[in-house]
Structure 1
Amino acid sequence: MSVRLSTVAGLAALVAACAPARRPALAPAPAAEPASGVAGDSAALSSVELAARVTALFGTALDPDSAAPAPVDVAGPTWDIDVRSYETHERVAYYVARFTGPSRGWMAERLRRGTRYDPMIRRKLRASGLPEDLAYLALIESGYSPYAYSRVGAAGLWQLMPETARDGGLRVDGWVDERRDPVRSTEAAIRFLRWLDREFGSMYLAVAAYNGGPGRIARGLTRFAHDMEGSTGDGFFTLAAQDYLPRETKEYVPQLIAAALVGKEPARYGIPVRPEPEFAYDSVRVPALTPLASVASASGSSVAEILDLNPHYLRGLVPPGSGATVRVPVGRGDGFADAFAALPADARRGVTRVETKKKQTLADLARATGRSPELLAAFNPGLAYGKKKRLLPGQTVLVPTATVAAAARAMPASPARSARSAAAPLAKGGSEKGGSDKRGSDKGDRQVRARTGTTAATVATARGARRATPSE
C-alpha cells in the first residue's frame, strides 16, 4: 500500500505542476487515515480522480496500481565470438570502415542475401557446439552465394576445395557439386571447423587454419613457440604479428570480426537490410535422370524455383543411379508422387541415347543431335577418342532433351579461368582470395601434427591455450 500511495502522491504532484494556473482546483476528498504511515495529504486525490486528471492533460489514463515501466534493454547486441577485445585493432577497424564506407552497398547486398541462409547456418552451428557468429565466415567467403567460384577452384557458400569437400563427405563430380548445396556444404564446413577447433584449441586459430590450411598454422605454432608462450589473448594475433602467415590469412580473422560487428548492428552503421524469406523446402524422391523441369511441373512450381532450391544439380536433371532427392517449395510436396506419375512419359525423360559411328567426331554428333559439343562432352565425360579426335564407334552417348539443356548450368571451364569468389572487396592493404593453402587443401590435414613433428601438448603450450583434444 505504501508503494501505491507514494506513486499516487508523485503523480498528483506532477499533475499539479503541469495543470494550467486558472483551472479550478478539485474539491478535496474526505481524508482517510493512511494505512502505512504515509501522510494523508499525499493521498488527497483518489485513484479515479487522478486517472481523470491525467487523461485531461495527456490524453491517456494511467493506472496508479501499475508498476513502474518495464526496464528497457540497453545492453546492445552480444556475440559468441570475441569481437569486443579486438574491435579497435588496426585491421579490424580498417575493415569496419571499409564495409561501412566504400563497400556499404556491397555489404548491404550480402547481408540481405545472408538473411536467407543465416537461420539455417546458425541452427547447425548451435547444434554442433560451435559459436553461431561463425556464420559470418560465409559472408567473408562467398557473400552468402552458393554459386561463388574462386580462381583456385573453391566453390559454394563456404568456398571448399574439391578434395576437402570429398573428405567431408560431399559429392563433387560432373553431375552434382554439393559444395553449392547450402545445407550439405554448411554441414561439411562445420565438421571441418570443429576438427580445427579441437586441433588448435583456439577459435581464431581454427578460422585462420580454415583459410590458410592447418599445416601452415601448426608449423607456425612450432616455429614461434617461444613468442607464443608469453602472449595473452587469442594466439592468432600473436602468430599474425610474425613475418610468417600470408597476407590473406593475416587479414582473414580481422575481416570476420569486422563482419560480425557490422552484420550484428547494420542499422548502427546506416546500412539498410531487406530480409529475404528463409531457405526452407519440402523434399521429394524421383528416379535417376529425371528432369528438374518435370519436378517443377509435378509440384506446381517454376523451373527457376526448383533450380534455386537445388543449386548442386549441375545438368538440369538428377544424376544417373538409383534416384535422388529434390527440394521443392514448402507445401508443394503434398500429392507430388501422384502428380509426377501422371506426367507423360516424354516429360519424365531427361535424355535420349545414341550410339557413336565410325569416323564420327564430337562436332558431327553435335550437328546430328542439335546439341553443342560442349554440352555433349559435359553429359558424357567418359567418351573415348581415337586418331584425329574421332569418337571410337559403339559408345552410348547421353543426349539431353531441350528442357534439360535449358536448365543445365554453365560451369567454369577451369580454376585458372573461373571467376573470383564473392569475397570481401579488395583495397590497398586488403586481401585477395586464392593465394593461400585454402580450406584444408594442404593434403593430409588430419596428419598435420605427425608430419610437422608437433604434438598436441606442444601446440597447446605454444598457443598458451587449453590442451587440444585428440583429432577425430
Structure 2
Amino acid sequence: MRPSSTLLGSLLLVGCLLRPAPSPAQAPGHAAQSPGSIDPMRPTVIPAGAPKDALGKPAVTKTEVSRRAVEVFGDSLILLTPPVIDSSAAAEPTWDMDVRTYETQERVAHYVTMFTGKSKDRIAAQLERGTRYEPMIRAKMKAGGLPEDMYYLALIESGFDNNAYSRAAAVGMWQFMTSTARGMGMRVDWWVDERRDPVKSTWAAVRFIKGMRDQFGSLYLAAAAYNGGPGRVARGLARYADDLENTKGDDAFFVLAEKDYLHSETREYVPQLIAAALIAKEPKRYGMTLHPREPFAYDSVKVPASTPLVAIAKAAGSSIPEIRDLNPHLLRGMTPPRTAYLVRIPPGSGATFDSLFAEIPKAARVATGVVESKKGDTVDRLAEKNRISSRSLLAFNPNIRRLKPSGRLVPGQAILIPSPSVASAALDVPDPSIEKYAGGSKRLKVHTVRRGETVRSIAKKYDTTPERIMKLNGMRKAVIFPGQSLVVSSKGGSSSKASKRKSRKR
C-alpha cells in the first residue's frame, strides 16, 4: 500500500501547486493557506531569493511545477520554454468563395495586373471608401445566405459609390435600374431614390444574387446574371448544354465565357470580381496601403413630412453634408411630403434630437411654399424674388408651362418654391422615375417579374405555358423573384440590339 500512498501524495502536491490559493474571503471559517503552500507532510524547500507573490510570500513558479510533474509522471505537459511566435508573419488570407482555383486564369491574372498597376490608385481609393460599408454589407451577405466576400461585387459595380450613375441609367452602389429596383421593393420617385441608400440597396442586391444562385446553381453564374441579365445567362446555358454537360459549379461560367456568347462586359465581370477579392485581402502584397474609414453607423429618428435637411442637421448637432451622406436617397434637400419619414442622424445624437428639434422655430421647419404665377412672371424673376436659382425652381417644377415665344410663365399656375436652404441641399439629379428604352423587338419579349407573380400567371398573361417560359429561360425550377427578367416569347434568335439591351437590364 505504500507506493499507492506516495503516488496519491504526489498527485495532491501537483494539484496544490497548480491551483491558485484561495483568499480568506473565499474560504470562510478556515485558516487561509499561504500562497504556494503544499502538503505539510511533504514540505517543499523554497530557495533564498525565490520570487515573491503579491502578499510577499514565496511564489511557486511554473518551472517548479513542471519539475515536480516530471518527477511524478515522467513527462510534462507544461513547456519550460514556450514557442516563439513570429507576430510579424501575416496570417494566410482566406475567402468564403472560390478564388484560389481561378487565380491563374488568364483574365483573372490580367485584372490583378491592371488593378495593381495603372489602376492601383483608383482601386485603393475605392477599397478605402468601401471599408466604411464593409461591416454592414458582409453582415447582410451572411444573413442572406451568401458568401461575405461577395462584398467585392460592389467594388466592380460602382467603387462603393452611392451616387454612381451609369449611361444605362443604373444608379447607386449596386447599380439597379428603376424597374428592377421597384420590383425588389425599393422606393424610386422624384423625392426618394432608394437605389442610393446603401442599406436598402444592399438588401435588394443580396436577394437578387441569391435568387440567381439558386436558379443557376453557381455563384459566378449568378454574378454574370447580375451584370448581364438572367435571361442572357439562361439562354447561353441552354444553347451550350452539350459543352457544359460534364461541368459543375463555378467552372460553368468560364466554359460559357469561352463561347463568345456573353457580352464583353459580362465576360470580364467575374474575372474582375475574383481579382478584386485577391487584391483586397492582401493589399500590402500588391503595394497598397489602405486607411480604413469609420463604419457606417447612425441613429434613426422619425420626422414630420416635408422636413428640411437643415432642420434635421441642426437638431442633430450635425451638418447638411453629414446628414446628406447618411441619407443619400433623399434627393430634394427635404423629406418627402404627406407622411412622416425615418431619417438617419449621427450615432449618439438620437437621445436629444426630439427636444432640440422642437426648439427650432416653426418657420425654419417649413421646406416649401406655393405661389401662383402672374401675368408677366418669368422663371428668372420668380427665382430671384425667392432667393433661389432658376435651375432649382425648374427642378422643383418639371412640368412648368411657358408661353411662346416670350418664355413667360402661363398665369395661374401653382409654382412650388423651395426655401433657399432646401434648394442648396437638393441633389442635381434627373427624375429617377423616368426610364427610356429603345423600341421592343418583334422577335423577343422580356417581362420583368413583379411582386406576387408566378410563372403560371405570367404564362397566362402572354398566352403561353409555364413549361415554355422555363425552357426559354433555362430554368430547372419554377422559382422567380421580383425584378427578374424573363423571356416570355421568341420567334427565332435574339440577336437584335434592342433585345440585348433588355436582357441586360437589372
Query: What's the TM-score once normalised by structure 2's chain length?
Result: 0.70
Q: 1:366 to 1:80 in 2, by over 3 A?
A: same
Q: Shift of residue 367 of structure 1?
A: 4.0
Q: What is the letter of the counterpart of residue 240 of structure 1?
A: A
Q: How far apart in 2 are the matches of 1:34 and 1:392?
A: 102
Please state whether the residue corresponding to 2:344 is helix, strand or coil: strand
Sort the Cα spacing of 1:459 and 1:32 in 2 relative to 1 into closer, same or farther, 3 A: closer
Quote the residue 1:425 is aligned against. none
Find the residue that maps to 1:154 and give its secondary structure: coil
Contact 2:373 2:410 in 1 (8 A): yes
Match of 1:404 in 2: 422
- For the residues of structure 2 that align with 1:444 and 1:137, how far apart are their CA atoms? 23
Which one of 158, 161, 164 corresponds to residue 145 of structure 1? 161
Q: Distance in 1 between matches of 2:425 and 2:69?
A: 86
Whether 1:471 and 2:480 are equivalent positions in the alignment is yes
CA distances 1:184-232 after superposition (whole Å, capped 9, x unpaired): 1111111211221122121111110110011111111111111111334
1:216 counterpart letter in structure 2 = R
How big is each residue's C-alpha offset from its partner over 1:300-333, in whole Å with a ceiling of 9 and x where there is no partner?
1122211111111111111112121111100011
Kept in 2: contact 1:299–1:332 (CA 8 A) = yes
**Does the C-alpha gap of structure 1 residues 345 and 414 become closer, same or farther in structure 2, counting only changes over 3 Å?**
closer
What is aligned with 1:315?
332
Aligned partner letter, 1:205: L
1:241 corresponds in structure 2 to 258
Pair 140,415 (structure 1): closer, same or farther in 2 beyond 3 Å: farther
Aligned partner of 1:455 in structure 2 is 470
Higher CA-based Rg: 2
Q: Kindly indicate which of the two structures has a greater share of residues assigned to helix.
A: 1
Matched with 1:50 is none
Question: Which position in structure 2 is the counterpart of 1:286?
Answer: 303
Aligned pairs for 1:72-111 (under 5 A) are 76-111=92-127
Q: CA deviation at 1:371?
A: 2.7
Residues 365-416 of structure 1 deviation map (CA, whole Å, 9 limit, x = unaligned): 3344343332112212344556555544333222111111221112259999
Q: 1:117 aligns with which of 111, 114, 133?
A: 133
TM-score (norm 1): 0.75
Residue 451 (structure 1) shift: 8.8
CA distance in 2, matches of 1:33, 1:217: 67
Residue 360 (structure 1) shift = 3.9
Letter in 2 for 1:411: V
Query: Which of 181, 203, 209 is the matching residue for 1:165?
Result: 181
2:260 aligned with 1:224, yes or no?
A: no
AA matched with 1:455: M
Could you say which residue in structure 2 is the equivalent of 1:197?
Answer: 213
Equivalent-residue separation in structure 1 for 2:291 and 2:315 (angstroms) = 32
Aligned equivalents of 2:396 and 2:68: distance in 1?
A: 94
- 2:21 is matched with none
Q: Is the 8 A contact 1:220 1:244 kept in 2?
A: yes
In the aligned structure 2, how far is the partner of 1:33 from the partner of 1:334? 59
Distance 2:94 2:330 in 1: 38
Q: Deviations over 1:132-162 (max 9, x none)?
A: 1111011011111111111111111111111
How many residue pairs are counted as aligned between the two chains? 392
Q: Is the 8 A contact 2:190 2:432 kept in 1?
A: no
Aligned residue number for residue 351 of structure 1: 368
* 1:278 partner amino acid: P
Greater length-normalized contact order (CA 8 Å, ≥ 6 residues apart) = 1
Q: Does 1:377 align with 2:377?
A: no
Q: For structure 1, which segment, 112-121 or 281-290, has the greater mean C-alpha deviation from structure 2 after superposition? A: 281-290
- Is the 1:220–1:239 Cα contact (8 Å) retained in structure 2? yes
Can you list the C-alpha shifts for 1:448-471, whole angstroms capped at 9, x where unaligned? Answer: 9979946379947xxxxxx55723
Residue 270 of structure 2 is matched in structure 1 by 253
Question: Judging changes above 3 Å, is the alpha-carbon distance between structure 1 residues 269 and 413 closer, same or farther for their aligned structure 2 residues?
Answer: same
Contact 1:219–1:452 (Cα < 8 Å) also in 2: no
Alpha-carbon separation, structure 2, partners of 1:183 and 1:169: 13
SS of the counterpart of 2:351? Answer: coil
**Alpha carbons of structure 1 residues 414 and 459: separation in structure 2 relative to 1, 3 Å:** closer
What residue identity is the alignment partner of 1:337?
A: D
State how far apart, in whole Å, the 1-side matches of 2:69 and 2:404 are. Answer: 115
Q: Distance in 1 between matches of 2:233 and 2:348?
A: 47
- Go from structure 1 to structure 2 and tell me whether the alpha carbon gap of 1:132 and 1:442 turns closer, same or farther (over 3 Å shift): farther
Unaligned runs of 5+ in 2: 1-9, 15-66, 435-444, 460-464, 482-506
Q: 1:261 to 1:445 in 2, by over 3 A?
A: farther
Q: CA deviation at 1:93?
A: 0.2
1:35 equivalent in structure 2: 71
For the residue of structure 2 that corresponds to 1:227, the secondary structure is coil
Equivalent pair of 1:300/1:332 in contact (CA under 8 Å): yes
Residues 29-68 of structure 1 mapped to structure 2, 5 A cutoff = 35=71, 65=80, 68=83
Please give the alpha-carbon distance, in whole angstroms, between the structure 2 residues aligned to 1:223 and 1:362: 57
Structure 1 segment 321-336 matched on structure 2, within 5 A: 321-336=338-353
The Cα shift of 1:33 comes to 13
Please say which of residues 356-365 and 239-248 is displaced more in the overlay.
356-365
Alpha-carbon distance change, 35 to 282 in structure 1, aligned in 2, over 3 angstroms: same
- Asked whether the equivalents of residues 470 and 478 of structure 2 are also in contact (C-alpha less than 8 Å), the reply is no
1:53 — aligned with what? none
SS across alignment from 2:350: coil
Q: In 1, distance between residues paired with 2:337 and 2:324?
A: 18
Cα offset, 1:88, TM superposition = 0.4
Distance in 1 between the 2:342 and 2:349 partners? Answer: 14
Given the superposition, is the C-alpha separation of residues 192 and 204 from structure 1 closer, same or farther in structure 2, using an over 3 Å criterion? Answer: same
Cα distance change of structure 1 residues 100 and 415 upon mapping to structure 2, 3 Å threshold:
farther
C-alpha RMSD of the superposition: 3.4
- Structure 1 stretch 73-82 or stretch 126-135: which is displaced more? 73-82
